[in-house]
């Protein structure tokens, strides 16, 4: 603990910086952050505070709300698991192997972040609907992806691909090949090496990547609503239900669902941060 606090104390005890511009830049920054970030967030808090517990519980225990939350959480979880596996695979291939097209593959990973979500949405639905390139293949098998829970998972998977890859990639780059070589000389199989030597060192990245991917999936709207079908109780996600309540001018209900989702996201992000620091510390102390 004291180790962590030292630089902080040193900085705060330093004399005032002689550089100019604090008043102006801090003034601009605080004004901007207040108007653009703080007040809107306080607005949500204010609306929630006016709501009271019983009204809040009334909104949240409504069967349609519960169904939307269940659909959103399960789809996000499924997309996250898929993302963890494929993210690990993509990151591994990108770092460990040299092959033609590697640079292009590396650049492609960022495409889901760059592509506007509405564009992703109509692209995915056109692919997976019955007359789409992929949908036409799965429809005869009696497996429909568009307008179903699976479609929601696909959309969430697409928009959060980069998180897992980009979180795991740097850790694979930092792996010490000597450790794998040592395990090899001790007679470990390739799978044993991966399981016992490599994977534990990648855990912080996998955790961060999947965590961010899950949070992103929880809130994804544009890419999902086109492919989801949006049938209440079946394929209606929480973000869409918030939008519907807004269109009905039911601001308290919208705020209750939004507040719950936002709180969940923030708690997850903080938990990822804490878990990550702990994992890194365990490696530094050489457990």
Residues 6-45 that bind another protein (CB under 8 A): 11-12, 14, 17-22, 24-26, 28-30, 32-33, 36-44
Closer by beta carbon to another protein, 118 or else 196: 118
CB of 229 to another protein, least distance (A): 13
- Which token pair is 35? 């108007």
* Residue 120 contacts another protein per CB under 8 A: yes
* CA dist., res. 287 & res. 280, Å (int): 11
Q: Which of 148, 158, 160, 161 is closest to 234 using CA atoms?
A: 148
Check if the beta carbon of residue 230 is closer than 8 Å to that of residue 146.
Answer: no
* CA dist., res. 119 & res. 122, Å (int): 5
**Near another protein in 55-94, by CB under 8 A:** 86, 89-90, 92-94
From residue 226 to residue 245, what is the string marking binding to another protein with x (rule CB under 8 A)? Answer: x------------xx-xx--
From residue 180 to residue 209, what is the string marking binding to another protein with x (rule CB under 8 A)? Answer: ----------x-------------------
* Residue 251 contacts another protein per CB under 8 A: yes
**Near another protein in 126-155, by CB under 8 A:** 126-127, 132-134
Q: DSSP assignment, residue 279? A: H
Q: Which of 88, 57, 54 is closest to 194 using CA atoms?
A: 88
CB neighbour list of residue 112: distance below 8 Å, 6 or more residues apart: 120, 158, 159, 160, 161, 162
Which position among 201, 230, 265, 276 is part of the footprint of another protein (CB under 8 A)? 265
* Residue 122 contacts another protein per CB under 8 A: yes
- Which token pair is 10? 């040193």
Closer by beta carbon to another protein, 262 or else 287: 262
Interacting span for another protein (CB under 8 A) from 57-65, 175-183, 218-226, 279-287: 218-226
* CA dist., res. 162 & res. 181, Å (int): 30
């Amino acid at each position: 603990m004291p180790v962590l606090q030292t630089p902080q104390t040193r900085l705060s005890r330093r004399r005032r910086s002689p550089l100019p511009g604090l008043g102006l830049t801090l003034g601009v920054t605080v004004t901007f952050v207040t108007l653009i970030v703080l007040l809107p967030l306080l607005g949500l808090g204010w609306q929630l505070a006016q709501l009271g517990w019983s009204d809040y519980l009334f909104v949240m225990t409504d069967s349609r709300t519960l169904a939307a939350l269940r659909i959103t959480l399960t789809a996000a979880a499924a997309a996250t698991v898929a993302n963890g596996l494929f993210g690990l695979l993509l990151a591994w291939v990108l770092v460990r192997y040299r092959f033609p097209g590697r640079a292009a593959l590396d650049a492609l990973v960022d495409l889901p972040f760059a592509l506007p979500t509405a564009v992703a949405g109509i692209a995915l639905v056109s692919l997976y609907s019955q007359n789409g390139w992929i949908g036409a293949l799965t429809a005869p098998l009696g497996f429909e992806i568009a307008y179903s829970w699976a479609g929601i998972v696909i959309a969430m998977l697409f928009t959060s691909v980069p998180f897992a890859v980009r979180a795991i990639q740097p850790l694979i780059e930092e792996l010490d090949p000597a450790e794998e070589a040592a395990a090899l000389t001790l007679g470990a199989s390739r799978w044993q090496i991966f399981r016992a030597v490599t994977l534990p060192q990648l855990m912080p990245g996998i955790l961060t990547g999947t965590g961010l991917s899950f949070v992103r999936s929880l809130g994804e709207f544009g890419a999902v609503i086109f492919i989801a079908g949006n049938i209440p109780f079946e394929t209606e996600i929480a973000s869409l239900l918030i939008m519907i309540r807004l269109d009905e001018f039911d601001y308290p209900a919208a705020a209750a669902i939004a507040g719950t989702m936002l709180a969940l996201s923030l708690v997850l992000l903080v938990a990822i941060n804490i878990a990550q620091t702990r994992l890194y510390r365990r490696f530094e102390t050489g457990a």
